[in-house]
Chains A and B, each alone.
Chain A
Amino acid sequence: MIAVTACLVLPLAAALAAIPLGRRAPRLALVAAPLILLAALAVATEIWRTGPAQLPVGGWLPPLGIALVVDGLSAAFLLTGAIVTGAVVLFATSIFSTPDRETRAGFAFWPLLLAMWGALNAVFLSGDLFNLYVALELLTLTAVALVALDGRRETVAAAIRYMLFALFGSLAYLLGVTLIYARYGALDIALLRILAEPDAPTFVAAALMTIGLAAKTALFPFHAWLPPAHAGAPAPASAMLSALVTKASFYIVVRIWFDVLPVAGNEALAMILGAMGVGAILFGSVLAIGQERLKLVVAYSTVAQLGYLFLMFPLAGSGGEAQPWAAGAWNGGVVHALSHAFAKAAMFLCAGLFAEAIGHDRMDGLKGVARTMPLTVFAFGLAAISLMGLPPSGGFTAKYLLLTAAFAGGNHFFALVMLAGGLLAAIYLFRPLERAFAKPAEGSDITPIARWRQAVPLVLAGAAIALGVFSAVPFDLLRIGRADAAQEGLE
Chain B
Amino acid sequence: MSGALGHSATLFALTGAALVGIGLYGFVARTHLLRRVLAFNVIGSGVFLFFGATGFRRPDLGADPAPQALIITGIIVALSLTALALALITRYAALSGRSSLEDEAPDDEAPDAGDERGGG
Contact = CB atoms under 8 A, between A and B. Distances in A.
Chain A–chain B contact at Cβ < 8 A:
yes
Contacts of A170: 81
A266 to B, nearest CB: 21
Contact of B40 (A141, A160, A161, A171): A171
A171 B47 contact: yes
Contact of B88 (A156, A175, A227, A361): A156
Interface string A322-363: 000000000000000000000000000000000100001110
Contacts of B67: 178, 181
A184 B51 CA distance: 13
Given A158-B112, A160-B92, A231-B111, A178 B50 contact: yes
Contacts of B115: 291
A421 to B, nearest CB: 18
Interface of chain B, main secondary structure: helix
Contact of B119 (A130, A133, A134, A223): A223
B120 to A, nearest CB: 4
Contact of A182 (B44, B55, B89, B120): B55
Interface string A128-162: 00100110010011001100100011111111110
Interface residues of A, number: 50
A181 B95 CA distance: 43
A278 to B, nearest CB: 14
B101 interface: yes
A293 interface: yes
A287 interface: yes
A232 interface: yes
Contact of B66 (A157, A174, A181): A181
Interface string B85-99: 100110110011000
B117 A178 contact: no
Contacts of A227: 114, 116
A141 B47 contact: no
A154 B70 contact: no
A182 B88 contact: no
A156 B36 CA distance: 16
Contacts of B110: 152-154, 232
Contacts of B116: 224, 227, 287
A199 to B, nearest CB: 15
A302 B51 CA distance: 36
B111 A361 contact: yes
Interface string A278-297: 00000100010001010110
Contacts of A224: 116-120
A145 B84 contact: yes
Given A181-B70, A227-B114, 10 more contacts: A134-B73, A144-B88, A152-B95, A154-B112, A159-B88, A164-B36, A171-B43, A175-B50, A215-B120, A231-B111
7 contacts: A141-B84, A144-B88, A156-B95, A167-B40, A178-B50, A220-B120, A231-B114
Q: Which 7 A-B pairs have the closest CB atoms?
A: A232-B112, A182-B54, A221-B120, A178-B51, A228-B114, A153-B95, A154-B110
Interface of A: 130, 133-134, 137, 140-141, 144-145, 148, 152-161, 163-164, 167-168, 170-171, 174-175, 178, 181-182, 215, 220-224, 227-228, 231-232, 283, 287, 291, 293, 295-296, 355, 360-362
